[in-house]
């Protein structure tokens, strides 16, 4: 079903059907789904019921999310459409009214540069990526990824015989020059192997790095993908959770709720903004903004892709949860766009506050210095060092780029001065001293009731014997850990970072 475009008539998407894989081309419509369309019509026998939920008012003047004014939102037989509609099998595109909202919202916020983009609902971005991998890549294909990438995305493609083609990062995320180098040199570095034609990326608050890509970089990435005929999968659940830079020792910014247009202007644009050919497939999710358990999101894509995705949906997941669709639709209708964007701003403020809590907790136990001010240091962001007890200097322990989006701090540990690592490295019988040290250090943290996520979970898998990941040295004398600040309270962060610092002091003997 075509949706109405609220803005003008930009060009249509170009023909990108040559990117469809053999499996996708062989899909046919499911006959059962033709019947289901009629089951949703008025007068059909269906289940009925009612429910309610507490609805906050994002535009109320309260300063924090828990204190927001609330009212009851009712979803029942009197709703439009009634709840009973959502409790039957629905069309696999998803509810038309919710799709029209998503279409209008996309046109208003992201402003795709081609006219005929379409919306298709899906049950969460993990499943959405699974469908796309089944749409675009053949067995043996390589998939372009960030140098550290979301492990669940890899867990899907590994059993299907696919591999990562990692692209180097800097403080803004994926580097356009590195992407160009990988693609232009592919025939030399991978003779006889098909050149990658799909790029998977999380361009805002990337999991695990927390990096957000700026507008100029996005344009360069898009131009490179046009040059090499690459499809971009923009997995973007954290889009509205973008922050300003963290300033060491600086005053905290005022947390005001901006008018909707000012808020949107403050955000890095989606890659859709540059997409005049229809080669960006955007994955949107309500998980990070409303509730993960909703399992609801939507594709924004070229009709060539949505039609094939629909064929897969008909025989795999069918339509997303009807109850989730009903709840989200009623919520969005009650809030309106301004209310929804105000809610997103409040979430951004909440997570930015938590980010600052965690980095402030680091500063209570480590000296934090901008990387460019540390003599001879190679790396981005902030360097955390421990002062020697005798006052003779300090030892750099880790560095990180303060996240400008998302929920994570990605730390790179500098192992060259760690006594245990030196011992492991000098032992010729030890294979992979970095990984062995990381495992030991993780265990020490766990014994002291500190749980971090090992960096090896996010290393891009490029083949090997292991079923889920390939343990590899990303950089000599380095290892990585991910901190998450989304759930812990300020007191918990202070306690946790204090314990972490004690383990570090013992390990580095500082």
Average of per-residue pLDDT across 261-289? 94
Residue 51's pLDDT is 43
Per-residue pLDDT at 14:
83
pLDDT at 36: 41
Q: What percent of the chain has pLDDT over 90?
A: 53
- Given a contact cutoff of 8 angstroms between Cβ atoms, the answer to whether 271 and 176 are in contact is no
Q: Which two tokens stand for residue 427?
A: 């032992």
pLDDT-derived band of residue 289, with 50, 70 and 90 as boundaries? confident
Least confident range of 47-51, 176-180, 222-226, 242-246: 47-51
φ/ψ region of 397 (left if φ > 0, alpha if ψ in -120 to 50, else beta) reads alpha
Taking all residues of the chain, what is their mean pLDDT, rounded to a whole number? Answer: 84
Residue 108 has pLDDT above 60, yes or no: yes
Return the higher-pLDDT residue of 308 and 183: 183
Q: Give yes or no for a contact between 400 and 409, defined as CB atoms under 8 angstroms apart.
A: yes
Where is average pLDDT lowest: 105-114, 353-362, 452-461? 452-461
Q: How far apart are CA 28 and CA 435, in angstroms?
A: 47
How many other CB atoms are there within 10 angstroms of residue 317's CB atom? 17
Give the per-residue pLDDT at 348. Answer: 92
Q: What is the DSSP letter of 115?
A: S
Confidence check: pLDDT of 480 > 80:
yes
Which domains does the chain possess?
352-508 (3.90.1150.10)
What per-residue confidence (pLDDT) applies to 459? 86
Lowest mean pLDDT: which of 212-216, 272-276, 372-376? 372-376
Phi, psi of 463 (to 5 degrees): 105, 160
Burial class, 360, CB count within 10 angstroms (exposed 0-12 / middle 13-18 / buried 19+): middle
Q: Say whether pLDDT at 50 is over 50.
A: no
Average pLDDT over residues 3-22: 75
Residue 270: pLDDT band (50, 70, 90) is very high
Report pLDDT for 311: 86
- The percent of residues in the chain predicted with pLDDT above 70, rounded, is 83
Phi, psi of 425 (to 5 degrees): -65, -35
Contact 151, 466 (CB under 8 A): no
pLDDT for res 45: 28
- pLDDT tens digit string along 312-354? 888 787 778 778 888 889 889 989 999 999 999 999 999 999 9
Is 481 in contact with 452 (CB distance < 8 Å)?
A: yes
> For position 28, what pLDDT does the model report?
42
pLDDT in tens, 68-78: 666 666 666 66
pTM passes above 0.75: yes
Task: Give the 3-state DSSP-derived string for 345-402, with helices as H, strands as E and coil as C.
Answer: HHHHHHHHHHHHHHHHHHHCCCEEEEHHHCCCCCCCCEEEEEECCCCCCEEEEEEECC
Residue whose C-alpha is closest to residue 145's, from 483, 465, 358, 460: 460
Q: What is the pLDDT of residue 397?
A: 96
What pLDDT, on the 0 to 100 scale, is given for residue 100? 95
What confidence tier does 438 reach under pLDDT thresholds 50, 70, 90? very high
pLDDT, average across residues 138-149: 92
Q: Over 80: is that where the pLDDT of 7 sits?
A: no
| Mean pLDDT on 264-283 | 96
Residue 147 has pLDDT above 70, yes or no: yes
- pLDDT tens digits along 171-229: 889 999 999 999 999 999 999 999 999 999 999 999 889 999 999 999 999 999 999 99
């Amino acid at each position: 079903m075509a949706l109405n475009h609220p803005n003008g008539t930009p060009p249509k998407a170009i023909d990108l059907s040559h990117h469809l894989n053999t499996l996708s081309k062989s899909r046919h419509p499911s006959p059962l789904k033709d019947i289901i369309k009629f089951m949703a019509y008025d007068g059909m026998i269906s289940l009925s019921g009612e429910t309610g939920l507490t609805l906050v008012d994002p535009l109320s003047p309260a300063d924090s999310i828990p204190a927001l004014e609330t009212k009851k939102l009712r979803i029942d037989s009197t709703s439009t459409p009634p709840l009973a509609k959502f409790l039957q099998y629905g069309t696999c595109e998803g509810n038309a009214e919710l799709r029209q909202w998503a279409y209008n919202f996309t046109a208003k916020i992201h402003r795709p540069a081609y006219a005929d983009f379409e919306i298709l609902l899906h049950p969460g971005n993990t499943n959405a990526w699974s469908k796309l991998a089944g749409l675009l890549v053949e067995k043996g294909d390589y998939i372009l990824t960030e140098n550290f990438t979301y492990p669940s995305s890899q867990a899907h493609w590994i059993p299907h015989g696919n591999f990562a083609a990692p692209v180097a990062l800097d403080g803004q995320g994926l580097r356009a020059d590195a992407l160009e180098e990988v693609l232009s040199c592919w025939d030399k570095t991978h003779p006889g192997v098909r050149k990658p034609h799909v790029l998977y990326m999380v361009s805002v608050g990337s999991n695990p790095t927390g990096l957000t890509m700026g507008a100029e970089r996005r344009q360069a990435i898009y131009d490179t993908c046009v040059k090499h005929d690459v499809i971009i999968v923009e997995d973007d659940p954290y889009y509205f959770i973008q922050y300003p830079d963290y300033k060491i020792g600086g005053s905290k910014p005022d947390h005001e709720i901006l008018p909707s247009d000012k808020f949107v202007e403050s955000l890095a644009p989606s890659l859709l903004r540059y997409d005049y050919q229809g080669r960006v497939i955007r994955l949107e999710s309500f998980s990070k903004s409303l509730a993960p358990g909703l399992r609801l999101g939507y594709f924004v894509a070229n009709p060539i892709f949505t039609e094939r995705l629909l064929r897969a949906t008909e025989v795999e997941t069918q339509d997303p949860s009807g109850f989730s669709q009903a709840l989200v639709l009623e919520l969005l209708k009650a809030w309106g766009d301004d209310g929804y964007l105000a809610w997103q701003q409040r979430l951004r403020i909440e997570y930015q506050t938590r980010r600052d809590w965690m980095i402030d907790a680091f500063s209570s136990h480590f000296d934090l210095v901008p990387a460019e001010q540390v003599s001879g240091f190679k790396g981005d962001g902030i360097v955390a060092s421990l002062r020697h007890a005798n006052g003779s200097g300090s030892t750099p322990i880790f560095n990180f780029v303060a996240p400008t989006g998302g929920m994570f701090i990605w730390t790179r540990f500098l192992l060259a001065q760690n006594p245990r690592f030196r011992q492991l490295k000098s032992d010729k019988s030890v294979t992979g001293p970095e990984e062995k040290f990381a495992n030991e250090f993780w265990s020490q943290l766990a014994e002291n009731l500190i749980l971090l996520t090992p960096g090896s979970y996010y290393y891009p898998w490029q083949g090997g014997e292991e079923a889920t990941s390939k343990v590899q040295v990303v950089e000599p004398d380095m290892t990585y850990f991910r901190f998450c600040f989304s759930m812990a309270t300020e007191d918990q962060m202070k306690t946790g970072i204090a314990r972490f610092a004690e383990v570090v002091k013992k390990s580095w003997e500082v």
